[in-house]
């Protein structure tokens, strides 16, 4: 095994989770003269799909979210994708990819999970099982374990390497892995701090007082730091943007190497927007902007390999259709899956739109899911990596024979 400090492995991935990578090139893809790459983003916390891709063409949209509804003529205009959907203005890079037919949006999408627990939802998302259960492996690892190697990629790259935190479930299993753990992490989000304070005020008032005072000190420290820097923020949104871009960009550098891995996955936290969501200007907008920078970093760092790359961004479930009393959204159901890459047949929004009338909402509160995320992932794994359809139904996503791979995603 190469030492950790070897030039081709010298840069440790800074991730909210770990990078998974499998170094063999699938045999069938090689026989076709292809060298496909696949990168999965797990967006932990439940992404608000309606705020990411707004259905401005739905007559119930503005009535549903009022001033928080993104529109084409709003104070912060959304980016028009077609005559019905528009992208959050914080994502100009994804918008350019969409215009270049390098991006696809699948709306009203979800896993088969219909409860609203982050832990169970993330387990279903990463295990590929139809419901929460104890799982020793994830769908991506099982998919790769079933692919025969063409032997073109350096087999030394497939040696298992674990550093730091536990590897995400999506990549655990029989296929060999490389993983890089975070050396530093982002500060806890304002939402996390708010909920912790609320919890401890009821269970441990003394600890709550300490946390509250510490938060006040950070605000003072932040204000002083900005003054010393001439008004330039040293923490917050800028740090998140740099962090996301570095995580994804480093993953892309590894995948782009001739002797590097061909498949990877990384996790990005922070999408649990219970209060002060800030759809057009605020916290969610900042997160989407950071994610947009991450996608741009992937495209840049993939170089020529971008044309054979597919990137899939997914989350455990969506959020409520209505804004709550603290200007945020709660755990929901339907959301979006975002796909990007030069290997895609892009420039499309795929949606069997359920509508936003009260009677059309799932349990009268959520965007109903009409697309199964497993169909999207099956389509990519089958047509891009050439995974066997029967293996996808029986082993990769057990019990999913009725969920057919979504065709036509890959060019």
- Say which CATH number the domain at 73 has: 3.40.720
For the chain, percent of residues with pLDDT exceeding 70: 76
Residue 1 lies in a domain: no
Residue 225: the pLDDT is 36
| 39 and 164 inside one domain | yes
Section 185-206 average pLDDT: 57
Predicted confidence (pLDDT) at residue 189 exceeds the cutoff of 70: no
Task: Please give the residue that has the higher pLDDT: either 91 or 156.
Answer: 91
Q: What is the H or E stretch that residue 237 is in?
A: helix 237-256
Section 101-124 average pLDDT: 97
| 174 and 193 inside one domain | no
Section 150-162 average pLDDT: 44
Distance (Å, rounded) from C-alpha 177 to C-alpha 160? 5
| 252 and 213 inside one domain | no
Residue 168: the pLDDT is 75
Distance (Å, rounded) from C-alpha 54 to C-alpha 127? 29
Residue 410 lies in a domain: no
| 119 and 223 inside one domain | no
β partners of residue 104: 339, 348
Predicted confidence (pLDDT) at residue 272 exceeds the cutoff of 90: yes
| 180 and 194 inside one domain | no
Helices and strands of the chain, counted as H and E runs: 12, 11
- 205, 235, 265 - which closes a domain: 235
Which of 21-35, 47-61, 300-314 is least confident?
21-35
pLDDT band of residue 147 (cuts 50, 70, 90) is: confident
Residue 352: the pLDDT is 98
| DSSP states along 120-186 | HHHHHHHH--SS----SS-HHHHHHHTSPB-S-S-GGGGS-B--SSPPPGGG-SSS--B----SS-P
Distance (Å, rounded) from C-alpha 129 to C-alpha 395? 10
Instruction: Give me the domain span that covers residue 214.
Output: 188-235
- 201, 235, 269 - which closes a domain: 235
Which of 41-50, 107-116, 183-192 is least confident?
183-192
Section 16-39 average pLDDT: 75
| 338 and 300 inside one domain | yes
Section 379-396 average pLDDT: 96
β partners of residue 42: 267, 314
User: Could you tell me which of 153, 118, 169 has the C-alpha nearest to residue 317?
Assistant: 118
Predicted confidence (pLDDT) at residue 62 exceeds the cutoff of 80: yes
Q: Which residues neighbour 76 within 8 Å (Cβ) at sequence distance 6 or greater?
A: 70, 89, 280, 281
| 54 and 182 inside one domain | yes
Give the chain's mean pLDDT: 82
Section 298-308 average pLDDT: 97
Residue 174: the pLDDT is 83
pLDDT band of residue 15 (cuts 50, 70, 90) is: very low
* Residue 147 CB coordination number (10 Å): 23
Q: Are 127 and 316 in contact (CB under 8 A)?
A: no
pLDDT tens string 317-335: 999 999 999 999 999 999 9
Task: Please give the residue that has the higher pLDDT: either 209 or 69.
Answer: 69
Task: Please give the residue that has the higher pLDDT: either 182 or 74.
Answer: 74
| 208 and 294 inside one domain | no
Task: Please give the residue that has the higher pLDDT: either 15 or 59.
Answer: 59
pLDDT tens string 229-247: 343 333 467 888 988 888 8
| 158 and 279 inside one domain | yes
Predicted confidence (pLDDT) at residue 116 exceeds the cutoff of 80: yes
Q: Are 331 and 116 in contact (CB under 8 A)?
A: yes
Locus of tokens 């890079």:
93
Residue 261: the pLDDT is 79
Residue 217: the pLDDT is 39
Residue 403 lies in a domain: no
- For the chain, the domain total comes to 2
Residue 107 lies in a domain: yes
Predicted confidence (pLDDT) at residue 226 exceeds the cutoff of 70: no
Task: Please give the residue that has the higher pLDDT: either 22 or 76.
Answer: 76
Distance (Å, rounded) from C-alpha 34 to C-alpha 26? 9
Predicted confidence (pLDDT) at residue 371 exceeds the cutoff of 90: yes
Helix (H, G, I), strand (E, B) or coil at 99: helix
pLDDT tens string 163-184: 224 567 888 888 777 776 545 5
Q: Which residues neighbour 304 within 8 Å (Cβ) at sequence distance 6 or greater?
A: none
Residue 320 lies in a domain: yes
Residue 236: the pLDDT is 67
Residue 409 lies in a domain: no
| 150 and 247 inside one domain | yes
Task: Please give the residue that has the higher pLDDT: either 182 or 133.
Answer: 133
Q: What is the H or E stretch that residue 200 is in?
A: helix 190-203
Residue 402 lies in a domain: no
> Residue 377: what are its φ and ψ, rounded to 5°?
-65, -40
- 235, 253, 268 - which closes a domain: 235
Residue 404: the pLDDT is 98
Predicted confidence (pLDDT) at residue 91 exceeds the cutoff of 80: yes
What distances in angstroms separate CA 94 from CA 97, 195, 389, one per listed residue?
5, 32, 30
pLDDT band of residue 194 (cuts 50, 70, 90) is: low
| 201 and 326 inside one domain | no
Residue 408 lies in a domain: no
Predicted confidence (pLDDT) at residue 185 exceeds the cutoff of 70: no
3, burial (CB in 10 Å: exposed 0-12, middle 13-18, buried 19+): exposed
| 50 and 194 inside one domain | no
């Amino acid at each position: 095994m190469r030492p950790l400090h070897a030039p081709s492995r010298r840069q440790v991935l800074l991730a909210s989770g770990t990078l998974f990578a499998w170094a063999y090139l699938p045999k069938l893809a090689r026989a076709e003269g292809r060298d496909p790459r696949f990168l999965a983003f797990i967006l932990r916390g439940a992404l608000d799909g309606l705020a990411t891709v707004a259905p401005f063409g739905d007559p119930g949209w503005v009535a549903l979210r009022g001033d928080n509804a993104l529109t084409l003529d709003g104070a912060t205009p959304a980016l028009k994708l077609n005559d019905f959907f528009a992208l959050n203005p914080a994502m100009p890079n994804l918008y350019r990819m969409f215009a270049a037919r390098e991006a696809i949006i699948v709306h009203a999408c979800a896993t088969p999970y219909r409860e609203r627990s982050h832990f169970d939802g993330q387990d279903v998302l990463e295990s590929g099982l139809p419901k929460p259960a104890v799982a020793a492996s994830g769908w991506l690892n099982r998919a790769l374990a079933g692919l025969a190697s063409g032997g073109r990629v350096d087999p030394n790259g497939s040696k298992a390497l674990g550093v730091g935190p536990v590897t995400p479930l999506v990549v655990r299993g029989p296929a060999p892995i490389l993983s890089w753990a975070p050396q530093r992490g982002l500060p806890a989000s304002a939402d996390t701090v708010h909920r912790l304070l609320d919890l401890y005020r009821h269970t441990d008032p003394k600890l709550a007082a300490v946390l509250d005072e510490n938060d006040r000190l950070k605000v003072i420290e932040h204000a002083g730091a900005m003054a010393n820097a001439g008004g330039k923020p040293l923490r917050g949104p800028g740090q998140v943007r740099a962090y996301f871009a570095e995580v994804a960009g480093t993953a892309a550098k590894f995948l782009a190497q001739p002797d590097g891995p061909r498949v990877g996955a990384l996790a990005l936290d922070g999408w649990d927007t219970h209060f002060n969501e800030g759809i057009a200007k605020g916290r969610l907008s900042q997160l989407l902007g950071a994610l947009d920078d991450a996608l741009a970093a992937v495209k840049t760092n993939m170089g020529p390999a971008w044309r054979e790359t597919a990137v899939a961004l997914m989350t455990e479930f969506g959020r409520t259709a209505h804004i709550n009393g603290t200007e945020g959204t709660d755990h929901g159901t339907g959301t979006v899956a975002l796909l990007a890459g030069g290997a895609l047949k892009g420039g499309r929004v795929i949606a069997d739109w359920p509508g936003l009338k009260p009677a059309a909402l799932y349990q009268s509160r959520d965007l109903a899911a009409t697309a199964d995320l497993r169909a999207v992932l099956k389509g990519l794994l089958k047509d891009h990596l050439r995974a066997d359809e029967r293996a996808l139904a029986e082993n990769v996503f057990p019990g999913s024979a009725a969920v057919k791979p979504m065709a036509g995603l890959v060019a």
